[in-house]
Amino acid sequence: MRLSDTGPIATRVERDRIMAKALPPTAADDHWRPSLQVPCKQQTVPFLGLPAEIRNRIYHFALPSTGKGDPPLLVASPVWDDVMVSAAEPGITRACKQTRRETLKLFYEDNDFHAYIEHLDFRGLIAWARHFNYTPKLRVHVYMLNKAMCHIGLTPFAQAWRLVEHPEKIHLELHSSFLGPGRRQCAAVAFTVNAAEQKRTKRALQSRMEGEFGEKGTCRCFDWLEIGSGGAYSCSDKHWVDY
């Protein structure tokens, strides 16, 4: 049974003497020399030489994450202040090709991305969506700061969104700043976003609505226009328009 190192000094000295006699001469010097006299050999390992589990742990602390309580990352906004955090990729994602490959997926999957749109100006959002060399799968919460007049006004955005590479990987969820979180301004807005994500045009629907709702192709009341599966319904004249 091994004696405790915290015992009386006479006991420790006697133990060392007995163990030194029981071991070969070289072993006594290697194993029973006091620890403070043993030189420490410091070993350095390159970062990419570390196991993948350790690298992922380091990435967890180096990258922002909504799960850690970090604020959402902003894609676009008409105004900026010191509290807002841009959705720019952190420096660790640009260190080398391997770290970029390992960190991009974590960065985009672990964060919430927000965009604040004023006066239907989607240019900042579209420019951000076009900068990807590798298009990750992510979700962007888009908050409309102004009440849209009709889904026809969003048609230029739908057409521009079709030019984004792999738009099906970037899911847009539009919210209204007037109706509270989690609610969309109108089903017409939701339909327009879905049409943009699925690379569909609404020229046929627009031409049909020009004949039904007016020469500009917009309804008289935005809240009264509903877009459903396969058609549009206007509460103003109770008429269903197929498309």
Q: Where are the beta strands (DSSP E) in 26-97?
A: 73-76, 85-86
92: tokens are: 């660790």
If one counts every other C-beta atom within 10 angstroms of the C-beta of residue 38, the result is 10
Q: What pLDDT, on the 0 to 100 scale, is given for residue 160?
A: 78
- Whether residue 209 is predicted with pLDDT greater than 70 in this model: the reply is no
Q: What pLDDT, on the 0 to 100 scale, is given for residue 212?
A: 46
Phi then psi for residue 44, to 5 deg, are -110, 135
Whole-angstrom Cα distance, residue 187 to residue 223?
9
Per-residue pLDDT band for 110 (boundaries 50, 70, 90) equals confident
pTM for the predicted model, two decimal places: 0.56
Q: How many residues does the chain have?
A: 243
pLDDT in tens, 117-176: 888 788 888 888 888 766 677 888 888 777 665 556 677 777 777 777 776 678 777 776
Phi then psi for residue 169, to 5 deg, are -85, -15
* Residues facing 73 on adjacent strands: 85, 113
Whole-angstrom Cα distance, residue 168 to residue 196?
9
Q: What pLDDT, on the 0 to 100 scale, is given for residue 167?
A: 65
Helix (H) or strand (E) holding 144: strand 138-144
* Residues facing 144 on adjacent strands: 117, 176
Question: How is the chain split into domains, by residue range?
Answer: 8-37, 54-242
Q: What pLDDT, on the 0 to 100 scale, is given for residue 190?
A: 59
Whether residue 107 contacts residue 90, with contact meaning beta carbons closer than 8 Å, is answered with yes
Whole-angstrom Cα distance, residue 224 to residue 230?
17
Across the range 40-67, mean pLDDT stands at 85
- Whether residue 4 is predicted with pLDDT greater than 70 in this model: the reply is no
Whole-angstrom Cα distance, residue 88 to residue 67?
18
